[in-house]
Chain A
Amino acid sequence: MSAAEQLALFQSAEFILGVEGAVLVNLMVARRMPASGHRRARPVSAAHYYVSAPIGHDFTYLCAQPDYASHAVLAECDVVLPREVLQAFLDGC
């Protein structure tokens, strides 16, 4: 998707879920909404929180577990989000 397409998509969305990555910077144009990022258990970066907070998004993290075998650098590892964690989160929304 182009940058403009990403921005248009985020402007229209009411609820956004995703593993933390650069694309979440588009939250800056999203309308005020509950937004969420899955995130590995550690380290937790606050970067997208700081993008979301001034706009008033309801931003939260779901902690996932790193798949240590997937990458030598912890911050780049694939993650596993337990189904029950996602289920509980979605049921509460």
Chain B
Amino acid sequence: MKVLVPVKRVVDYNVKVRVKADESGVETANVKMSMNPFDEISVEEAIRLKEAGKATEVVVVSIGTAQSQDTLRNALAMGADRAILVEADGEVEPLAVAKILKGVIAEEEPGLVLLGKQAIDDDSNQTAQMLGALTGWPQATFVSKIELGDGSMEATREVDGGLETIKVNMPAVVSVDLRLNEPRYASLPNIMKAKKKPLDTKAAADYGVDVTPRLKTLKVSEPPARAAGIIVGSVSELVEKLKNEAKVI
């Protein structure tokens, strides 16, 4: 079984982004970029499936600018076998990403697609579910555990009330949550080896997908700032302030 893993290049999770002065977006020039952290978890899971003999090949795909090659090389260094870059400029919305991924699936015919639950830049949490709709495959979202069976899979999902386990037919679309695994670091020899692994470049048009955004971003602004607080000297002062100043207890 082939596993397809879509990975997105995003502003690193440690960066506190700044809104541009003209409110047209956030500052991304000279900002550290990394693989979306959830996608590191899905790459890791795919590699583990291969190491366990349950997957035969791990193919990673990214939709974005030429620089997304770095992200793909990173996934190859972790242990993925092959990469596909679908070049597209500007912001590509989840619906368009899902449509392109559907095209990639038609060519690659994976038995499983592992996505992140959420890209930490747009915070959409949509792509996996949309891909499920477009392929007609079942979806297991926000998963913290997967167990492959014969023609089906059991997945444990992180939900508002706790955990839920569902069974889905294969092929299936999965979105991974934080507790699924702890991603490995790529070793130096593997980073060197990754440079020689195959990386194909395509264009969104190859899949007949129009990536023009459907939603128009009118502006991007700073969130309201909180007023500065105070440091209290003791627990009793804290309780006094909460009672008499803030009046919340």
| A and B are partners in one complex rather than unrelated chains | no
